[in-house]
A = this chain, B = another copy of it.
Amino acid sequence: MSQATIPTKNAPYSELPAINSVLFEAKAKKGLTFDQIAKEIGKDEVWLAAAFYGQAKFSEEELKKVAGVLGIPSASALGELGNHWWPNRGLGPMPPQDPVIYRLYEGVLVYGHAIKAIIHEKFGDGIMSMIDCKINIEKKPDPKGDRVLLTFDGKFLPYAKW
């Protein structure tokens, strides 16, 4: 069942260390969700998934905990993601073609100017940080069809003037 859960050739994440495949495979074998693993290590599921995809950096301790939860025999096998490794963040060719990710992108296309206008009116000349930002996903049951609540909680940063 090698390399089953993520694309493996020429795909967006093909430049990830091979160890990432080990994480995905161990998760698949254990049959765990990101939420279940995240709760064990005291993190949110979105952040954890980002780390699996090489978009966030585990501390040494977090790496050990994940190895423990997934039953990866020796934490040293995860050494490739250790102190000297830094995420090279990104998604690959844009615009995204996968419909789930495209809808997020479409949110920028359709509502980007409106969101910018409201941020300016409420906060002034600046941005919502995507570095000091926490992302959360909730399932909101609804008889007409369940809803996804996707929240970005980002710090406002005013523009420097000098």
Which residues of A line the B interface, CB within 8 A?
Answer: 1, 3-5, 7-19, 27-28, 31, 33-35, 43-47, 49-50, 52-53, 55-57, 79-80, 82-91, 93-123, 125-135, 137, 139-140, 142, 144-162
Contacts and interface: CB of A to CB of B under 8 A. Distances in A.
Given A15-B10, A148-B128, A156-B147, A50 B80 contact: no
Contacts of A87: 98, 125
A122 to B, nearest CB: 5
Given A9-B15, A45-B118, A148-B119, A99 B106 contact: yes
12 contacts: A4-B17, A43-B162, A45-B121, A100-B126, A104-B107, A104-B112, A104-B128, A107-B133, A111-B135, A115-B150, A142-B155, A149-B152
Q: How many copies does the complex hold?
A: 10
A149 B151 contact: yes
A158 B133 CA distance: 10
A150 to B, nearest CB: 4
Nearest to A13: B113
Nearest to A131: B157
Q: Across the A-B interface, give the 8 residue pairs with the lowest CB-CB distance, nearest first.
A: A90-B97, A7-B15, A11-B15, A49-B114, A4-B80, A50-B114, A128-B148, A28-B84
B46 A18 contact: no
Given A135-B107, A162-B47, A94 B91 contact: no
Contacts of A11: 14-15, 88
